[in-house]
């Protein structure tokens, strides 16, 4: 069972990807993790990617797909995997599709975790992180016992730049421009499934389980 996770930043697709991986015994394949592992391990693919990253350039789609295919060719992926963070664009999806096709394989499900932008902005701008131990809170859903202070170590809590409203809006704009067309791409392939990501994560996972069977 080969699954692609779709959804805007902050929609909770990473959380669902991990829950699917744990629940179905599939590897959770995050492109960020693969890049870091290849660069850290000094693999030929990692060194190739690092050359682009060191110059502040984006890693080309073709190389990203090669790194991804190298990961999914490993033994633990033989029964399937959950892709998190890839593909992000139509060209990436097309290259992935073509390469899987050569191996007689295809994506079985593209699961889109749907959350309205205003919910995401509220969700992310309410996050707070500890400057010392990295513990995370939410001013509405998981507030600290004392406002602005970490329960775990007593250090100050901050709103990270990534979670500021303006940054979140910019990220959503990029998502809608680049990634939203993927929804049509997978819909045309007949593998798109949408779930309501405004529910709590356990309820979203229940909906996903009904889809996957």
Q: Please pick, among 18, 171, 193, 199, the residue that the annotation labels catalytic.
A: 171
Residues β-bridged to residue 29: 83
The predicted-structure confidence for 22-51, as pLDDT tens digits, reads as follows: 999 999 998 888 888 888 999 999 999 888
Q: Is residue 71 annotated as part of the catalytic site, yes or no?
A: no
Res. 202: pLDDT tops 90: yes
CB count in 10 Å sphere of residue 80: 17
Q: Is residue 18 annotated as part of the catalytic site, yes or no?
A: no
Q: Is residue 127 annotated as part of the catalytic site, yes or no?
A: yes
pLDDT of residue 94: 93
Q: Please pick, among 2, 71, 127, 128, the residue that the annotation labels catalytic.
A: 127
Q: Does residue 148 come out as left (phi exceeding 0), alpha (psi in the -120 to 50 range) or beta?
A: left
pLDDT of residue 3: 97
Q: What is the mean pLDDT of the chain?
A: 92
Q: Is residue 160 annotated as part of the catalytic site, yes or no?
A: yes
DSSP 140-189: TTB--SBTTB-TTT-PBEE--GGGSHHHHHHHHHHHHHHTHHHHHHHHHT
Domains detected in the chain: 2-116+178-212 (3.40.50.300)
Percentage of the chain lying above the pLDDT 70 cut: 100
Q: Please pick, among 88, 122, 193, 199, the residue that the annotation labels catalytic.
A: 88
Model confidence band, residue 150 (pLDDT cutoffs 50, 70, 90): very high
Q: Please pick, among 2, 13, 71, 128, the residue that the annotation labels catalytic.
A: 13
Q: Please pick, among 160, 169, 177, 209, the residue that the annotation labels catalytic.
A: 160
pLDDT of residue 142: 93
The predicted-structure confidence for 44-80, as pLDDT tens digits, reads as follows: 999 998 888 888 887 888 888 889 988 998 999 999 9
Q: Give every strand in the sheet of 157-158, ordered side by side.
A: 136-138, 127-130, 157-158
């Amino acid at each position: 069972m080969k699954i692609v996770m779709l959804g805007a930043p902050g929609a909770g697709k990473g959380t669902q990807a991990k829950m699917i991986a744990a629940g179905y015994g599939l590897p959770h394949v995050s492109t960020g993790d693969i890049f870091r592992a290849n660069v850290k391990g000094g693999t030929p693919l990692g060194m190739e990617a690092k050359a682009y990253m060191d110059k502040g350039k984006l890693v080309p789609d073709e190389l990203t797909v090669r790194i991804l295919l190298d990961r999914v060719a490993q033994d633990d992926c033989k029964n399937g995997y959950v892709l998190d963070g890839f593909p992000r664009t139509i060209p990436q999806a097309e290259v992935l599709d073509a390469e899987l096709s050569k191996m007689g394989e295809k994506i079985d499900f593209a699961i889109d975790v749907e959350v309205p932008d205003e919910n995401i902005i509220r969700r992310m701008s309410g996050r707070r992180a500890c400057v010392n131990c990295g513990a995370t809170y939410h001013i509405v859903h998981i507030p600290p016992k004392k406002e602005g202070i970490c329960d775990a170590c007593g250090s100050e809590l901050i709103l990270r730049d990534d979670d500021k409203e303006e940054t979140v809006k910019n990220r959503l704009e990029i998502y809608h421009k680049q990634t939203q067309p993927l929804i049509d791409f997978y819909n045309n392939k007949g593998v798109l499934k949408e779930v309501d990501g405004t529910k709590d994560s356990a309820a979203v996972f229940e909906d996903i389980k009904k889809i996957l069977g």
